[in-house]
Amino acid sequence: MPTMRIPFFSQKVYPFLLSAYRWYLLTPERSLEAAYKAALQIKSIEDEHFNGHKIDLNLAIYSNSVMDYFESELKQQLKIARMRLTEFRASRLFSNESHQRAAQKTGIQYPSSALILEKLQFIDQVISKYNNLENEINASALLNQPQIIEIDPTTSVSSPKKIPNPNQEPQKKQRGKADTMGILPRSILSTIGRLQVELDPNAEEDVVKNFRQTQRRTIISIRFILLLIIVPLLTHQISKVLIVSPIINHFRNPEAAPMFLNFEMEEEALVELHKFEEKIKFKNLINHAPALSAEEIEIQMEDKAREVAEKFRRQSTNAIKNVFSDIFSVGAFIYLLIISKSSIAVLKDFFDHVVYGLSDSAKAFIIILFTDVFVGFHSPHGWEVILEGVSRHWGLPANRDFIFLFIATFPVILDTIVKYWIFRYLNRISPSAVATYRNMNE
């Protein structure tokens, strides 16, 4: 009786399919084990550095670099644990008795239910402490709202006033001026309060804690600003060299491709060629070059024409590459904004603290400088240069009608927004800065 031979293709494919099926059957156990290891990692940090307590990012017992490391490690392990738990629950939905029997046939032994419950209980016990981690990070990075100085008309002493928080619930009953008046003057009460703060034994620790929070907020803001600038630029260059250029060079034949994307490029090439011809004739006329015959001049003109054609063909190809590379850059910028919500909140508070912490004259100077540059009398020339540069970057013809329409509408809209901001917010927060701005602007 002849022996049955297994086809060579089946000999190669069957072990691969079997290993893939085993990997699928082990998905719940693998996901639970990964989540369990992430929880163990968090627990080890708590035991070694926080005396078994929750990782508190507001503590001032470590430097900023160490706390940044703990924060990044905590966020990474929490992300792993939660993702793996989700994967474990999803894979358990498709697990039934038939899958368990198939697993036993392939030699897979699932852990006992008691062990699974023990691991799940440990994971929930660890990660449940950090359900409000984003709020804690924002609270540790954001300091108190910036303060402005309000002059009390009844006294000669200026008292700080906190900027109202729009997210805060309004008070049910506002206190009148008669309710705020006490037996002693406010200046004496504020002096007593300042002395109490200075005599407080914990005042130094609070000052150090606030300083570290301010320093941390500044570092996060500057780092995020640099990321917003560097990441799109690097994405543009890397995508242009590694992705866009090979594809464009493959589908765009350098010899058959048109050398001019628009009529402006063609006019610029003709002007350059005409200047070269006039330069040769001028040198011949003043005897600074050997006399050339008409045939020699024609040969030099042909060489220059080929050089100009190659130059503008490269410019046209580069403009097409810039379009697709800029799409990658915008995508990277948007993705960075989406994944950095907490950094955006810190950056907003940083700008509020810097802007509202300036003096009245500095605020008025910055507003006047901004409005004069972008919406002032000489701003149309700047906008025209910017729009022409963008058109040249993408290889588009500079449409004069569009440029004039943009200059006639956008600066007006921008000026309206600035005036509304001054009227709606700055006038309420710092009326003295508005008065200084009006006096300087006049």
Q: What is the pLDDT of residue 90?
A: 77
238: how many CB neighbours lie within 10 A of its CB? 15
Domain-wise residue ranges, the chain: 10-131, 219-340, 358-441
d(CA 18, CA 24): 10
Over residues 101-159, the pLDDT tens digits come to 555 555 566 667 788 888 888 888 888 888 776 555 555 554 444 443 343 433 333 44
158-205: per-residue pLDDT in tens? Answer: 444 444 444 444 443 444 434 444 555 556 766 777 777 667 667 677
Neighbours of 419 (CB within 10 A): 12
SS3 state at 160: strand
| Strand pairing category for 147-151 and 158-162 | antiparallel
Return the bridge partners of 162, or none.
147
Question: Across-strand partners of 149?
Answer: 160
How do residues 200-259 score in pLDDT, each as one tens digit? 667 677 777 778 888 888 898 999 999 999 999 999 999 999 998 888 888 877 666 677
Q: At what angle do helices 379-394 and 400-421 cross, to 10 degrees?
A: 130
Which residues, in sequence order, are bridge partners of residue 151? Answer: 158
At residue 66 the predicted structure's pLDDT band, cuts being 50, 70 and 90, is confident
Between the alpha carbon of residue 28 and those of residues 20, 77, 104, 108, 128, the distances in Å are 14, 19, 15, 12, 21
Is the CB of residue 273 less than 8 Å from the CB of residue 307? no
Euclidean distance between the first and the last CA atom of the chain, given in angstroms as a whole number: 111
Residue of 424, 393, 230 whose CA lies nearest to 324: 393
| Range with lowest mean pLDDT among 19-23, 411-415, 433-437 | 19-23
How many Cα atoms are found within 13 Å in the side-chain-facing hemisphere of 306? 6
- Indicate yes or no: pTM above 0.75: no
Task: Check whether 5 has a pLDDT greater than 70.
Answer: no
